[in-house]
Structure 1
Amino acid sequence: MGLKAGIIGLPNSGKTTLFNLLTRAHAAVAPYPFCTIEPNLGVVSVPDSRLERLAEILKPPRVVTATVEFVDVAGLVKGASKGEGLGNQFLSAIRGVDAVVEVIRFFMDPDIPHFMGDLDPLRDREVVDIELMLSDLEIVERRLQKVQELFKKTSSKELEKERDLLLRVRDALSEGIPLRKLTFSEEEKVILKPFQLITLKPIIYLANLDESEQARALYQKMEAWCKQEGVPLLPLLVKLEEELQEIEDLKERTIFMQEFGLKESGLTAFIRETYATLGLITFYTFGDKELRAWELLQGSTAKEAAGKVHTDMQKGFIKAEVINARELLEIGSLEQAKALGRVRLEGKDYQVQDGDLLYFHFSV
């Protein structure tokens, strides 16, 4: 199963509009709370200029991009951790994701009322983040109570470790500290993993802007807070991105972007940032049928990468022929790269690097 990013935020913040831009799935959009009830799921291609350049020199019959999955869930409201709005349903859906994208409203639109009455991005961010921490706190306190009861009966070292860890986590959440700001050992991460704590997941704040001076001023305040906290904040003019997608001619789209001083679509930058936040890199395979980009968790081995292509390749892995796309593009030909001895052989424990082109040898 691939890694997923969950799109969250207050009602009418632009979550589902963003989801539609990403996936063109045409999920329902309406100017009233809880339009999104069941989670929307969509798979999005990852923009990759290396893949385009590799296709030019390798000339495959088919090109397949790497992907990332997005989940759009119901808007969160104050009190969601206690079941307000669609709280329980929302929190259940978001626990299964691997990273969180929090959409924050910076735009004014009289046709789309703000759920809390007025425009205040810093307050909106705090409302959502507090609800996530309260939800995590409830889970931790419930488990801590069970562990303490068990510890009285059987004072094992394992229970003592879990108890001490849960106490530290509980104290942090009670003080309003998201768990991603704490440092955990690998053993502690294993203990916490089954709880799917939301504030332990990496987060991206996405500013849904318009072109007003008010939005710019509010963005600067949020940017200062994010820098202080060490979390990413990405600007996105969602309405502008909608207009961009309506322009089918690429040259016209480029001219339109230049008029607004854009080097690339903000959506493209956002997808790349989400991909990196999920801890993913890209490797490539090339054969008679296709050139394909594959998403892979950073730090994975060649044998694990082979398993992405086919389980038989992982089971019967022998070796992999490897050349990085950067080097291949400099040489300009796979045949020439082989002739120069630049395609090397690596074993099962080789750690795949971002941009590697791999050819797997296996036996089943």
Structure 2
Amino acid sequence: MPPKKVVEEKKIPLGRPGNSLKSGIVGLANVGKSTLFQAITKCSLGNPANFPYATIDPEEARVIVPDERFDWLVEQYKPKSVVPANLTVYDIAGLTRGASTGAGLGNAFLSHIRAVDAVFQVVRCFDDAEIIHVEGDVDPIRDLEIISEELRIKDIEFTEKGLENIKKQTRRGGQSLEMKKLKEEEATIEKILQWLKDGKDVRKGTWAPKEVEVINPLFLLTAKPVVYLCNLSEKDYIRQKNKHLAKIAAWVKDNSPGDPIIPISVSFEERLTQFDSDAEAEEECKKIGTKSILPKVITTMRKALDLGSFFTTGTDEVRQWTIRNGTKAPQAAGVIHGDFEKTFIQCIVYNYSVLREEGDEAAVKAKGKVLTKGKDYVVMDGDIILIKAGAAKA
């Protein structure tokens, strides 16, 4: 008898499905969040005030994603219209110790974090007598512990509520398939609760696809990807040295292994935005022997969210579309227009890397590297796609 074919379970990512995912800038009060938001979005919130809760409602902006592939395509096609990819970023007001129990504006802040899909966690590593620290002194490890604990305490609360709701249903008993499913969900929620009570973040667990289906509707704070931004003084950033960095790296390795850590000087990034042109800002960077880290911050977050891009190209428009990695062609077509997903027939596709190697579209066609793909095709990051779809039903 032939060996039994093993059906591989499809891995489901933690977090809500979709391609329009949002990131939130999080941290204690007065660590540089609002100033970072201003720098990263090139838009002004006025001068961030030197006291906690200066930002009470989350501010939202779309940030252009830097991508040399897009720049090259624009140069190649010289289109009438260009539309780069963007990342939605929120500036969320500062957390404080006790936020999970409502201290400060705690509950509002935590609900704002719940509404985003990933977190930029800003950690203060600079001394400045002019800028007060909500805890009295600069201690990044203590700050990391406070935020980690507050998010986990809130998740325990969310999970306990979820458990309470499902227990109301399983108490009815019975042997139906629906009851069996509910009991499996109850066991998963109990497992999540224990994981959190053991002091661990949900994103660091190894969860089966069925467990992920239970986790995602809970919108847990510790299930979200995190990128740690260590906010240094300009001097420390230029010399790439700071007394706190090694300790932060050790803490992240022990508590959030694998999460990216990026040293940044928010004051330096803000200063670069004061120049009249990008060329002047670049000249300043050359003069002092450094560069802006913001492009890396944006691309690292996109990677943490497991987002990729495909392109549509032509002399009318070059456009970069954002999708979750692993998206199939009809769903990618749906990002362009909802009707395209329903009426998808096939797509004509070749990758940017092939175009770059061959030089132009005609050479790609001549070498037979333009492919026709159907509904099961998984779109690759960097694909250039032409969608063929039927007429939408009226």
TM range (shorter): over 0.9
Of residues 304, 311, 336, the one that matches 1:309 is 336
**Match for residue 338 of structure 1?**
365
Q: Cα deviation per residue 1:50-71 (whole Å; 9 max; x = unaligned)? A: 1111111222112111011111
Whether contact under 8 Å (2:123, 2:228) holds in the other structure is yes
Question: 1: distance between equivalents of 2:40 and 2:330?
Answer: 32
TM-score under structure 2 length normalisation: 0.88
Aligned residues: 363
Q: How does 1:116-195 map to 2 (within 5 A)?
A: 116-154=135-173, 156-195=179-218
Q: How does 1:85-124 map to 2 (within 5 A)?
A: 85-124=104-143
Q: Which ranges of structure 2 fall in alignment gaps of 5 or more residues? A: 1-17
TM-score under structure 1 length normalisation: 0.95
Please tell me whether residue 236 in structure 1 is matched to residue 264 in structure 2.
Answer: yes
**One-letter identity of the residue aligned with 2:350:** I
Of residues 359, 382, 386, the one that matches 1:355 is 382
**Match for residue 34 of structure 2?**
16
Please tell me whether residue 320 in structure 1 is matched to residue 338 in structure 2.
Answer: no
SS of aligned partner of 1:217: coil
**Match for residue 229 of structure 2?**
206
Which range moves more in the overlay, 144-153 or 158-167?
A: 144-153
Cα distance, 1:314 vs. partner? 1.7
Q: Which ranges of structure 1 fall in alignment gaps of 5 or more residues? A: none
Cα distance, 1:100 vs. partner? 1.2
Question: 2: distance between equivalents of 1:43 and 1:67?
Answer: 6
Cα RMSD, aligned residues only: 1.8
Which range moves more in the overlay, 154-163 or 329-338?
A: 154-163
Which range moves more in the overlay, 312-321 or 205-214?
A: 205-214
In structure 2, do the counterparts of structure 1 residues 168 and 337 end up closer, same or farther at CA, with 3 Å as the change threshold? Answer: same
Whether contact under 8 Å (1:180, 1:202) holds in the other structure is yes
Question: 1: distance between equivalents of 2:171 and 2:384?
Answer: 56
Question: 1: distance between equivalents of 2:296 and 2:65?
Answer: 10
Cα distance, 1:143 vs. partner? 2.2
Question: 2: distance between equivalents of 1:344 and 1:318?
Answer: 14
Q: How does 1:279-294 map to 2 (within 5 A)?
A: 279-294=306-321
SS of aligned partner of 1:320: strand
**Match for residue 7 of structure 1?**
25
Please tell me whether residue 38 in structure 1 is matched to residue 57 in structure 2.
Answer: yes
**One-letter identity of the residue aligned with 2:133:** H
Question: 1: distance between equivalents of 2:240 and 2:140?
Answer: 11
Please tell me whether residue 197 in structure 1 is matched to residue 216 in structure 2.
Answer: no
SS of aligned partner of 1:108: coil
